[in-house]
């Protein structure tokens, strides 16, 4: 993990890094160690990136509101990462399909599954590297010594749409994830991974989502193997999740990560 820049503002330190060519950002409370602290993985949506406004806002809430750390990566083909010919084709074709009023869900699921296959090991590598980072921290001063050298605290995942297409197989494979917020996704091809998710999940559905058919999203919620899972559905399209749900998902993650 190679840190490339660091800046602090309003009590939040933002550190950009790359790991095996994947660019990411780490946020943590200024002057305090990563060790022992809850960490939230922030997955952006399709077309977004690690420093998109929603991601940065949620990172700020994690750090300022709860003293957590947060980390975001550019998904394959997003942000600063090169786009493959397939990524380019996808970006063009989805616009055409939507404009033509044709169903996009199967095609979206196929493309995001290909991205997830690359992204899951990237997130795992980032967790490994941040774990080493936390263990290697040296105690500086009395307050900073709390948690220094301890390794990571409990880990949560927050990501909708593409962020869930990646997050669901990640949570299925990655025992360090203790709770997750998913949603705006749902295709039969995700069922098997969803069944292997065992941690508490809050799952968001937009009732009038034209990218993700409601039935597919409801079925994916049903398939989640988690004993504790809760579905929140609201009227409106894919991009119209109400602000109250962002508050709710913050409370949800906090409930499970603060107790850890």
Q: Which residues bind its own copies (CB under 8 A)?
A: 205, 207, 218, 221-222, 227-235, 242, 244-245, 248, 255
Q: Least CB distance from residue 230 to its own copies, whole Å?
A: 5
For residues 136 and 236, which CB has a smaller minimum distance to its own copies in the complex? 236
User: Least Å distance between CB 48 and its own copies?
Assistant: 24
The distance of closest approach from Cβ of residue 128 to its own copies in the complex, given in angstroms and rounded to an integer, is: 33
Q: In the complex with its own copies, which residue's Cβ is closer, 8 or 228?
A: 228
Residue 237 vs 242, nearer CB to its own copies: 242
Euclidean distance between CA atoms 205 and 259, whole angstroms: 27
Nearest to its own copies of 129, 231 (CB atom): 231
Residues pairing with 9 in the sheet: 12
* H/E segment holding residue 247: helix 243-258
Q: In whole angstroms, how close is the CB of 222 to its own copies at the nearest point? A: 7
| 105-136 vs 85-99: helix crossing angle, rounded to 10 | 130
Q: Which residues contact 170 (CB under 8 A, 6 or more apart)?
A: 41, 116, 119, 120, 123, 124, 157, 177
Contact 255, 243 (CB under 8 A): no
């Amino acid at each position: 993990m190679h840190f490339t820049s660091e800046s602090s503002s309003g009590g939040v330190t933002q550190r950009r890094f790359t790991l095996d060519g994947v660019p990411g950002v780490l946020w943590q409370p200024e002057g305090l160690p990563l060790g022992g602290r809850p960490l939230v993985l922030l997955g952006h949506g399709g077309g977004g990136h690690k420093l998109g406004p929603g991601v940065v806002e949620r990172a700020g809430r994690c750090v300022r509101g709860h003293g957590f750390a947060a980390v975001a990566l550019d998904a394959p083909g997003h942000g600063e990462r090169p786009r493959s010919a397939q990524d380019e084709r996808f970006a063009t074709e989805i616009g055409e399909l939507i404009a033509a009023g044709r169903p996009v869900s199967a095609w979206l699921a196929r493309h995001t599954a290909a991205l997830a296959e690359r992204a899951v090991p990237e997130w795992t590598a980032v967790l490994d590297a941040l774990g080493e980072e936390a263990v290697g921290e040296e105690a500086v001063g009395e307050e900073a010594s709390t948690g220094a050298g301890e390794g990571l605290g409990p880990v949560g995942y927050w990501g909708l749409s593409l962020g869930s297409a990646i997050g669901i197989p990640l949570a299925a494979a990655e025992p360090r994830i203790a709770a997750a917020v998913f949603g705006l996704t749902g295709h039969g091809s995700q069922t098997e991974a969803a069944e292997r998710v065992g941690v508490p999940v809050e799952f968001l559905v937009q009732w009038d989502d034209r990218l993700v058919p409601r039935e597919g999203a409801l079925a994916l919620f049903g398939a989640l193997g988690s004993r504790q899972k809760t579905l929140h559905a609201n009227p409106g399209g894919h991009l119209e999740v109400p602000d109250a749900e962002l508050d709710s998902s913050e409370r949800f993650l906090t409930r499970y990560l603060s107790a850890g």
